[in-house]
Amino acid sequence: MAASNKVGWAQLRVGLMSLAALMILAFLIFLLTGADNPFETKSYLYTYMSDSAALSEGSAVRLNGILIGKVKTVELSGDKSNARAIRMKLQLEERYLALVPNDSVIAFSAENVLGAKFLNIKRGISPTPIQGGGELRARDEKDFLEIMQSAMPLLESLQSILGRIDKVVAQVESGQGSIGKLLYDPSIYTRVDSMLGDVQKVTRALSEGKGTAGRLLYDESLYDDLHRTLSRLDDLAAGLQRGEGTAGKLLKDPALYDDLRKTSVELRTMIAELNAGKGTAGKLLKDDTLHKRLLATLDNLNGTVDKINAGQGTIGQLMVNPALYENLTATAAEVQAMMKDFRANPKKFLTIQLKLF
């Protein structure tokens, strides 16, 4: 029957499809049964920790970051000491054992903040590699919690500091202390305020062209004066340039320069002579006797000063006698009064006269 032919083809196609799918499935399961080559021999290592940190079986075991095996079992070791409460059995391929020195240390690690935890073996320096069935030392990893705990005393001291700052702030707030007063005392403010008010008035007067300064700012005639003066200066400078007048001659006349040169030559010879100890100045420089005489003179001076201090002589009197000082003070007071007067009545005093030459 034709049907059987059809069935035959159907069976073939179905068979092929099933085969493909089953192969994929088998491959996947093969991969799953451990990332390992079933043909390679396995070795086991043990490590003891105080806490398994919820690490699951099958988690990766890495050597300095490279994947070399997985966690086979995690169980309670039954050991009394807390540091060895958890026993983990690690499965590695035999060939990796040779790369792990027996003083290597194993600890928890994570790929990143969100990453899965794994066990990382930090390679030791011992020349002997660890044997199968051996034990790896576990590093006491400070878990986040422990870090928190060690930070407690720091936090406590912070707390007390903050308390003290708090008290200071409270004081300031209540208006005590200079800062407090600055912040809270209204009298200073009113004083500053009135001062500012005065300043404002002066400024206004200035801007209105009142007072000398005001006139300085706003009076045009002064400007014209200045302008004229400047042009005169200009002419003067031009005259100087042309060599007019004494200063001009000074600038321009070469004869003076030649004289100066001659003079400097003479000076040089003179200095040479001085050095050689010729002439009076030279003698002054080189002669010892003068030095002695100077010392004697200083002694005399000292004696004179002492006398002055003791109030002897006119100068002495000046030094010691308070009467002059009192006079001076009185004068100062009068000056102050005059200042006040000035302030009240500036026009009386200020007459600026600019006259140059």
Q: Which stretch binds other proteins (CB under 8 A): 28-36, 72-80, 118-126, 137-145?
A: 28-36
Helices (H), the chain: 2-32, 94-97, 144-150, 152-173, 177-184, 186-207, 211-218, 220-242, 245-252, 254-275, 279-286, 288-309, 313-320, 322-344, 346-349
Q: Is residue 73 a contact point for other proteins (CB under 8 A)?
A: no
Kindly report the number of other CB atoms within 10 A of residue 68's CB atom: 19
Q: Give the nearest distance from C-beta 169 to other proteins in angstroms.
A: 42
Q: Which is nearer to other proteins, 58 or 277 (CB)?
A: 58
What is the DSSP secondary structure assignment for residue 129, as one 8-state letter? B
Q: Give the nearest distance from C-beta 25 to other proteins in angstroms.
A: 5
Q: Residues 45, 72: contact at Cβ < 8 Å? A: no
Q: What is the DSSP string of 75-93?
A: EE---SSGGG-EEEEEEEE
Q: Which is nearer to other proteins, 7 or 110 (CB)?
A: 7
Q: Is residue 66 a contact point for other proteins (CB under 8 A)?
A: no
Q: Is residue 114 a contact point for other proteins (CB under 8 A)?
A: yes
Q: Which residues contact 126 (CB under 8 A, 6 or more apart)?
A: 101, 102, 103
Q: Which stretch binds other proteins (CB under 8 A): 8-16, 100-108, 255-263, 276-284?
A: 8-16
Q: Is residue 54 a contact point for other proteins (CB under 8 A)?
A: no
Q: Which is nearer to other proteins, 56 or 263 (CB)?
A: 56
Query: Among residues 41, 81, 112, 221, which is the contact residue for other proteins, using CB under 8 A?
Result: 112
Tell me how far CA of residue 201 lies from CA of 6, 160, 214, 341, 351, in angstroms.
Answer: 116, 52, 12, 18, 22
Query: Among residues 5, 9, 49, 86, which is the contact residue for other proteins, using CB under 8 A?
Result: 9
Measured CA to CA, the distance from residue 77 to residue 84 in angstroms comes to 7
Measured CA to CA, the distance from residue 356 to residue 352 in angstroms comes to 12
Query: Among residues 35, 256, 296, 298, which is the contact residue for other proteins, using CB under 8 A?
Result: 35
Q: Which is nearer to other proteins, 31 or 161 (CB)?
A: 31
Q: Which is nearer to other proteins, 115 or 127 (CB)?
A: 115
Q: Which is nearer to other proteins, 76 or 114 (CB)?
A: 114
Measured CA to CA, the distance from residue 82 to residue 73 in angstroms comes to 19
| Of the candidates 147, 148, 150, 122, the residue with the CA atom closest to the CA atom of residue 136 | 122
Give the total of residues touching other proteins (CB under 8 A): 24
Q: Is residue 267 a contact point for other proteins (CB under 8 A)?
A: no
Tokens of 190: 């009113």
Q: Which is nearer to other proteins, 24 or 281 (CB)?
A: 24
Which residue is it, tokens 């720091």? 154
Q: Is residue 4 a contact point for other proteins (CB under 8 A)?
A: yes
Tokens of 211: 């007072």
Q: Which stretch binds other proteins (CB under 8 A): 21-29, 83-91, 157-165, 339-347?
A: 21-29
Q: Which is nearer to other proteins, 9 or 144 (CB)?
A: 9
At residue 131, φ and ψ (nearest 5 deg) are -90, 160
Residues lying near other proteins in the complex (CB under 8 A): 1, 3-4, 6-7, 9-11, 13-14, 17-18, 20-22, 24-25, 28-29, 31-32, 35, 112, 114
